[in-house]
A and B are shown apart, each in its own frame.
Chain A
Amino acid sequence: MTRPRPRPRTPESESETRNPTGGGATAMRLIVPLQGVVQGRGGLILGSLIPCALFYFFQLYLKRHRSPKPGSNPTSPSQSSSNLPDLQRSSSRSNLSSRGSIGPVQVSSRASSIARPNDSPYYIGLDRVSEDPYHRLDNPNGIIQLGLSENRLCFDLIEKWLSENTKDSVMGRDGGDLSISGIAPYQPSDGLVEFKVAMADFMSQVMGRAVSFDPSQMVLTAGATPALEILCFCLADPGNAFLVPTPYYPGFDRDMKWRTGVELIPVHCRSTDNFIISITALDQAFNQTRKRGIKVRGILISNPSNPVGNLLPRETLYNLLDFAREKNIHIVSDEIFAGSMYGSEEFVSMAEILDMEDIDKNRIHIVYGLSKDLALPGFRVGVIYSFNESVLVAAKKLTRFSSISAPTQRLLISMVSDTRFIQEYIETNKKRIREMHDLFVEGLKQLGIKCAQSCAGLYCWADMSGLISSYSEKGELELWDKLLNIAKINVTPGSACHCIEPGWFRCCFTTLSQEDVVIVIERIRKVAETCKILS
C-alpha cells in the first residue's frame, strides 16, 4: 500500500538508482516476515515473534536430540550387536509391513543405565566370588568371601529349630485342610498382623527391652532393601537429596537412587573422629546442597554403622534430631545390625530417644530386617517402622510391589515368637560374633593392620593405609586388586563406601569358620609383605 510503486521512469538516471531499492522492496515483500526485522516497520511485533519462533524451534530441536543421549545405550553398538543375529534372520513377515523400522526397539534410559555392567569394586568382587568360591576341600584355591555381610555363625541353631518346627508352623498343628487358607489366598500385602506383633516383640527383645514397638506403625517388606527404597519414594521427589554420612554401605546407592531419582550427598567423616558424624559437617553439606538448588529431604544414617561398626552415642542422636528439626527434614535410621552387638557399649535406638522425649516424631523412620540379626537374608524380611501417618499409608500401598511370601511369614511367626529360642539365639550369636571378631582383629594386628574401634556388625573396618602404594583412591584399588587376584580374598575397599580417606577396607568375618581365619590372615600376609618390600 504505502510502498513505492515502480512507476516513475522518466528520469533515466534516477531509475537506475531507484531500481535497486524498489527491487529490494519488492523482493522484501515476498519475504514478508523478514522485512519487519530488517526494515523495522511493524518491527516490534515481527521482530520479536520471528526470533522467538526461531528460538522455540531451536529449543524443540535441541530437546528432541538431547533426551536420548543420557540413555544412548539402547541404540549403541553394544546392544545392537547382540541383536544383530536376530534381525538378520527376520522372516518374510517382517517384510510385509512396508514401514517396518529396522532398528532395535528402545529400552528406557533408566533401564539401560541399570543394565550397564557393574563398575563398583564392591559388585565386581561379589561377582568374582560367585564364579570361584572358596571351599576347604573342593576349591581350596577359590576366593574367600569377606565382602558380603552375611552371618553364618549360628546356622546350626536355626537349622535345628527349623527341622523341629517347620512343618507345624507353616501348616498348623492340625494338618493342612484349614490352614491352607492362611497361606494360599491373598494376604495383606504389608504383612500379616500376627507377624507384625511378633516382629515388634522381637525388635524390642533384640534391643534389650529398652524400647517397645507398636505393630500398627510397622510395614513389612520383602527385605530391608525395598524398605529403604519405599521410604525414599515416600520422603523425596526426583531431584531431591538425602545427606548420608560416609563411609556408607555401598548398596545405598542402588537402593536410594536407582528408581527414585533421588540423590545422595555424602557427608564425610574422618578417622580422627572414629568416623562419627559431626553436625558441623552435616550443616555444611546441607548449605552447599541448598546453594546448588537441590532440596535436602532427610538424613540417612546407619546405626550400628555399616561399614565401621561403631554406634552413635545418645548425644549425637539428640543433635541429629535437633538438626533435622531445625532444617525440617527427615531422619531414616537403618538399625539392621541392632542385635549383632559384640562390644560392651550400649546400643541406643532412635525409637528409644523418641520414646523418652515427646518430640515431633513424624520425621523419624527406622529400617530393620531379619537378614542380619536372625541371619536369614534368604527369607527376605524387612521392616519400616515409622511415626508418620502419611508415610505409613503410602508405604502400605506400595508393598504391593514387595510383599513377603505367606508361608515364610507363618514360619517366622512361630520362630520369632519362640521367646526361649530367640533368647538363646541372640546370646549365642553375640558371643560367637565377639569370638570371631577378636580372633580376626588379633590376626590383622599381628600383620600390623589396625581396625577402627567397633562394637557391632558382622565386619571390621581395617586401616591398610600402610600397605597402599600411593595415598589415593588409585593406590587403594591397586591393593584391593592384589587382595582379590593374588591373595584371593574379596574385601570391600573404602572408596566403594565413599570413604574420603584412602586405605580403609571392610572385612566381613561372619561367613568364616575359625579355621578359615588362619587361612585368610595368611593370604593377607603374603600381599602385605610384598607391599612392604616395595615401599
Chain B
Amino acid sequence: MTRTRLFRSRSFEEKEEEEEQQQHYSKHNITTSTGMRVIVPLQGVVQGRGGLFLGSVIPCALFYFFQLYLKRHRSEPKSPPPQPPPENSEGQLAEVSVSVLPRSLSRVHISPRSPGGPAYVSGRANSIVKGGDSPHDVGLRKALEDPYHQSGNPDGVIQLGLAENKLSLDLVGEWLAKNAIFGEELSIGGIASYQPFDGLMELKVAVAGFMSQVMKKSVFFNPSQIILTAGANPAIEMLSFCLADTGNAFLVPTPYYPCSDRDVKWRTGVEIIPVPCRSADNFRLSITALDRAFNQAKKRGTKVRGIIISNPSNPVGSLLDRETLYSLLDFAREKNIHIVSNELFAGSTHGNEEFVSMAEIIDLEDLDRNRVHIVYGLSKDLSLPGFRVGIIYSFNDNVLAAAKKLTRFSSISALSQRLLVFMLSDSNFIQQFIEINRERLRRMYIKFVAGLKQLGIECIKSHGGFYCWADMRGYIPSYSEKGELELWDKLLNIAKVNVTPGSCCHCIEPGWFRFCFTTLTEKDIPVVMDRIRKITETCKSHS
C-alpha cells in the first residue's frame, strides 16, 4: 500500500538521476520478488509484505533453534567425559578395564546388544581424577613417601608443606595417658547408637567454651549456633553449598590456602574469583580491589554470593585489623553478600598484635548478622587434625537448618566426640595447653625466621599460624611462575625440602613461598637452613 503510493509520488519527479535510480530499484525489486514468491516465507522477510510478522517469526525461530543447539552442545564441554566414547572419557581407566575386558567369559556374549565399553564415570569424577596434581600435592606425596627422619632416614624429604602442629603433641599425649576416661565413664548408649548428625550438644558447649578461651574471652559463642562437621574442609564445602548455587562465585583474596579450590569448588560447582593482594601492601586486603573484582564478575554475568577470608591469614600469617573487618562488613552489606571468615588459626597467634574475630565485631555492633559465617576447627589450635572436628558458626537460621541436615554426610564419630568433651572440659589442661603452645610457636617462629634471614631471605611479618611467607624473589631464575616452580623443584628434589610455592596459593607475584615450621623440632632448623643454603648459593651464582 504505502509503497505504490510512494512510487506514484516519485513518478512526478523531474530529476533524471532520481528516476534512473528509482527504475533500477523497482526493476530489481520486481524480479527478485517473483523469484522469491516461490519461497513463500522468505518473501515476507525480503519484500516486507506482511514482513512485520514473518520477518520476526522466522528469525526468532531460527534464533531459537540456534540457541537450543548451542545449549545442547555447550553443557557438554564442561563435563566432557559422559558422552564422548570411552577412549577419551576414561583416560587411565580405559587401560585398566581393557585388561579386564578381553578375559570376559561366554556370559558376555549371551546378551547380544552388549556395548562392551567400560561403564561411564561422571564428568565431575573425571575432572577430580585428572586435575589432581598441583605442586602442592606432588610435594606432599613426595614427603609422605620418603619422610625425613633424623636417624632413620637423614636423606629424606623434610615436610614444610603441611600446616600441622606437632610442637605440643606431647601435652595431648600425656593428658590422654593420664586420664582414664575410657571404660566405665563411657556409656554404650551414648556412643554406639545414632547421635545427632550435627554433633553432641555437650561437645558444642565445650567447643564454644574453647573458642572463647582461645580468643581470650573477648567473644561469647552460642552453642546453638554451632554445627560440628568431620573437619574444617566439609565445613567450608557445606557453607559453599548453602550460600551459593552452581555457577555463582565467591571472592577470595589471594594468596589463599591451596585447598580452598577443592573445598569451595569441586562438588558444588561454585567459582572462586581471586582478588589479588600485593607485597607492596604487605598482602593486605583492599576494599578497592574487592570492589573491582565484584564489578568485573557482575559484568561477566556471574553472581557473587560472598567473600571468603582467612583470619589469621593462611599462608601469609597476618591478622585483619578491626577497621578492615568493619569495611568488609560494610562492603558485604552494600553488595548484599555473605562473609565466610575462616578463623582456624585463631588460637595459634604468636605475635603481639591482637586477634579480632568476626564474631566480636558482630557482638559489639548490632549489625544484620545473618550474612556472617565463621569456620573453625580443632585441627590447628588443639593440633588434632586426626580427630576431624570442624565447626560452622553461623548467625543465619536458614544456613544452620540446611547445614544441620547436610551433616548426615559428614559427622564425627561419637566416640571421638565423647573423648573431646572430656578433654575440653578440663579447663586447667586447656589453659595450660594454649599458653605453652603459643610460647613454643613463638620460639619456633623467631628461630626459623632468623635462620632464613641469615640466608638473606626476608619474610612478611606474621602474627599467627604455623608458617611464614618467605620472599625468594631474588633466587628465581626468571620472574614468572615458571621460575618459581623451577626453584620449588630444586628445593624439593635437590635440597629435599617440601615447601608450598606461591602460585599454588594463587599469589599474583612469583617468588613467594610458604614454609610451615611446626612439624619440625628446633634441632631440625639448622638442617633445613643448610639445605636451603645449598640451593640459594647456586641460584645466586647463576644470576
A residues in contact (CB < 8 Å) with B: 2, 4, 8, 11, 14, 17-18, 21-22, 24-25, 37-41, 43-44, 47-52, 54-56, 59, 71, 73-74, 79, 82-83, 86-87, 89-91, 93-94, 96-97, 99-101, 103-112, 114-115, 148, 150, 152, 155, 158-159, 162-163, 166-167, 170-171, 175-177, 179-181, 183-187, 222-223, 225-226, 229, 233-238, 240, 254-255, 258-259, 261, 295, 297-298, 318, 322, 324-326, 328-330, 357-363, 375-381, 388-391, 393-394, 397-398, 400-408, 411
Report Cα–Cα, A71/B269, bound state, in Å: 17
Complex contact A233–B82 (CB within 8 A): no
Contact partners of B110 in chain A: CB under 8 A: 322
B residues in contact (CB < 8 Å) with A: 2-3, 5-6, 9-10, 12-13, 18, 21-22, 25, 45-49, 51-52, 55-60, 62-64, 67, 79, 82, 90-93, 96-97, 100-101, 103-105, 107-108, 110-111, 113-115, 117-126, 128-129, 132, 162, 164, 166, 169-170, 172-174, 176-177, 180, 182-184, 186, 188-195, 230-231, 233-234, 237, 241-246, 248, 259, 262-263, 266-269, 305, 326, 330, 332-338, 365-371, 383-389, 396-399, 401-402, 405-406, 408-416, 419
| Contact among B64, B397, B412 with A405 in the assembled complex (CB-CB below 8 Å) | B412
Complex contact B333–A100 (CB within 8 A): yes
The answer to whether A21 and B2 touch (CB under 8 A), given A378-B195, A405-B412, is: yes
Q: Give the shortest distance, in Å, between B228 (CB) and chain A (any CB).
A: 11
Complex contact B333–A4 (CB within 8 A): no
Contact partners of B170 in chain A: CB under 8 A: 177, 180
The answer to whether A380 and B411 touch (CB under 8 A), given A111-B241, A388-B119, is: yes
Q: Give the shortest distance, in Å, between A253 (CB) and chain B (any CB).
A: 12
Q: Give the shortest distance, in Å, between A115 (CB) and chain B (any CB).
A: 4
Report Cα–Cα, A378/B413, bound state, in Å: 6
Report Cα–Cα, A298/B119, bound state, in Å: 9
Residue with the highest number of chain A CB atoms closer than 10 Å, among B25, B108, B173 = B173
| Contact among B114, B124, B332, B371 with A325 in the assembled complex (CB-CB below 8 Å) | B114
Nearest 6 CB-CB pairings of A with B: A40-B48, A176-B177, A47-B55, A48-B59, A180-B173, A51-B56
| Contact among A49, A94, A234 with B121 in the assembled complex (CB-CB below 8 Å) | A234
Task: With CB as the reference atom, state the residue of chain A lying closest to B401.
Answer: A115
| Contact among A18, A158, A394 with B192 in the assembled complex (CB-CB below 8 Å) | A158
| Contact among A83, A104, A186 with B386 in the assembled complex (CB-CB below 8 Å) | A186
What are 20 inter-chain pairs, A to B, with CB distance below 8 A? A2-B21, A8-B13, A47-B48, A47-B56, A49-B59, A86-B369, A107-B243, A112-B398, A170-B176, A171-B176, A184-B384, A186-B162, A222-B413, A226-B409, A326-B113, A360-B104, A379-B414, A389-B92, A390-B92, A405-B413
Complex contact B334–A100 (CB within 8 A): yes
Report Cα–Cα, A408/B92, bound state, in Å: 34
Complex contact A233–B387 (CB within 8 A): no
Q: Give the shortest distance, in Å, between B63 (CB) and chain A (any CB).
A: 5
Task: With CB as the reference atom, state the residue of chain B lying closest to A96.
Answer: B330
Report Cα–Cα, A11/B104, bound state, in Å: 97
Q: What secondary structure prevails in chain A residues at the interface with B?
A: helix
Report Cα–Cα, A97/B335, bound state, in Å: 10
* Contacts A177-B177, A222-B409 supplied; 10 other A-B pairs, CB < 8 Å: A39-B51, A40-B51, A115-B405, A184-B172, A184-B173, A186-B386, A326-B113, A397-B129, A397-B262, A405-B412
Q: Give the shortest distance, in Å, between A197 (CB) and chain B (any CB).
A: 19
Contact partners of A89 in chain B: CB under 8 A: 366
Contact partners of B132 in chain A: CB under 8 A: 393, 397
Contact partners of A389 in chain B: CB under 8 A: 92-93, 96-97
Complex contact A170–B13 (CB within 8 A): no
Contact partners of B398 in chain A: CB under 8 A: 73-74, 79, 107, 111-112, 115
Task: With CB as the reference atom, state the residue of chain A lying closest to B191.
Answer: A378
Report Cα–Cα, A363/B96, bound state, in Å: 13
Task: With CB as the reference atom, state the residue of chain A lying closest to B89.
Answer: A390
Complex contact B173–A406 (CB within 8 A): no
Task: With CB as the reference atom, state the residue of chain A lying closest to B189.
Answer: A155
Complex contact B388–A259 (CB within 8 A): no
Complex contact B176–A176 (CB within 8 A): yes
Q: Give the shortest distance, in Å, between A171 (CB) and chain B (any CB).
A: 6
The answer to whether A362 and B241 touch (CB under 8 A), given A107-B398, A235-B122, is: no
Report Cα–Cα, A150/B166, bound state, in Å: 39
Report Cα–Cα, A214/B92, bound state, in Å: 20
Complex contact B63–A41 (CB within 8 A): no
Complex contact B121–A222 (CB within 8 A): no
Task: With CB as the reference atom, state the residue of chain A lying closest to B329.
Answer: A93
Q: Give the shortest distance, in Å, between B314 (CB) and chain A (any CB).
A: 15
Complex contact A360–B63 (CB within 8 A): no
Contact partners of A180 in chain B: CB under 8 A: 169-170, 172-173, 176
Contact partners of B267 in chain A: CB under 8 A: 233, 259, 398, 401
The answer to whether A390 and B365 touch (CB under 8 A), given A40-B47, A115-B401, A378-B414, is: no
Report Cα–Cα, A14/B383, bound state, in Å: 98
Contact partners of A255 in chain B: CB under 8 A: 408-409
Report Cα–Cα, A89/B118, bound state, in Å: 61
Report Cα–Cα, A24/B2, bound state, in Å: 9
Report Cα–Cα, A185/B163, bound state, in Å: 10
Report Cα–Cα, A101/B332, bound state, in Å: 10
The answer to whether A406 and B305 touch (CB under 8 A), given A378-B415, A388-B119, is: no
Q: Give the shortest distance, in Å, between B86 (CB) and chain A (any CB).
A: 9
Report Cα–Cα, A38/B192, bound state, in Å: 78
Complex contact B45–A115 (CB within 8 A): no
Complex contact B129–A390 (CB within 8 A): yes
Complex contact B371–A150 (CB within 8 A): no
Complex contact B413–A233 (CB within 8 A): no
Task: With CB as the reference atom, state the residue of chain B lying closest to A260.
Answer: B267
Contact partners of B396 in chain A: CB under 8 A: 105, 107
Complex contact A101–B104 (CB within 8 A): no
Complex contact B9–A181 (CB within 8 A): no
Report Cα–Cα, A362/B416, bound state, in Å: 35
| Contact among A103, A295, A298, A375 with B336 in the assembled complex (CB-CB below 8 Å) | A103
Complex contact A37–B383 (CB within 8 A): no
The answer to whether A222 and B230 touch (CB under 8 A), given A148-B194, A325-B111, A398-B128, is: yes
Contact partners of B263 in chain A: CB under 8 A: 400-401
The answer to whether A237 and B122 touch (CB under 8 A), given A38-B48, A222-B413, is: yes
Complex contact A376–B192 (CB within 8 A): yes
Report Cα–Cα, A175/B110, bound state, in Å: 60
Task: With CB as the reference atom, state the residue of chain A lying closest to B388.
Answer: A405
Contact partners of A175 in chain B: CB under 8 A: 177
| Contact among A37, A55, A176 with B55 in the assembled complex (CB-CB below 8 Å) | A37
The answer to whether A97 and B21 touch (CB under 8 A), given A40-B48, A112-B402, A379-B192, is: no
Task: With CB as the reference atom, state the residue of chain B lying closest to A67.
Answer: B245
Report Cα–Cα, A329/B387, bound state, in Å: 37
Task: With CB as the reference atom, state the residue of chain B lying closest to A18.
Answer: B9
Report Cα–Cα, A187/B164, bound state, in Å: 11
Task: With CB as the reference atom, state the residue of chain A lying closest to B168.
Answer: A184
Contact partners of B93 in chain A: CB under 8 A: 362, 388-390
Contact partners of B419 in chain A: CB under 8 A: 170, 407
Q: Give the shortest distance, in Å, between A229 (CB) and chain B (any CB).
A: 5
Complex contact B413–A390 (CB within 8 A): no
Report Cα–Cα, A93/B108, bound state, in Å: 72
Contact partners of A48 in chain B: CB under 8 A: 45, 55, 58-59, 62
The answer to whether A39 and B413 touch (CB under 8 A), given A8-B13, A55-B60, A362-B93, is: no
Report Cα–Cα, A38/B53, bound state, in Å: 9
Contact partners of A376 in chain B: CB under 8 A: 192
The answer to whether A111 and B386 touch (CB under 8 A), given A100-B333, A407-B415, is: no
Task: With CB as the reference atom, state the residue of chain A lying closest to B90.
Answer: A390
Task: With CB as the reference atom, state the residue of chain A lying closest to B194.
Answer: A377
The answer to whether A43 and B48 touch (CB under 8 A), given A398-B128, A406-B388, is: yes
Complex contact A360–B97 (CB within 8 A): yes
Contact partners of B62 in chain A: CB under 8 A: 48
Residue with the highest number of chain B CB atoms closer than 10 Å, among A18, A318, A402 = A402
Task: With CB as the reference atom, state the residue of chain A lying closest to B18.
Answer: A2
Report Cα–Cα, A158/B188, bound state, in Å: 8
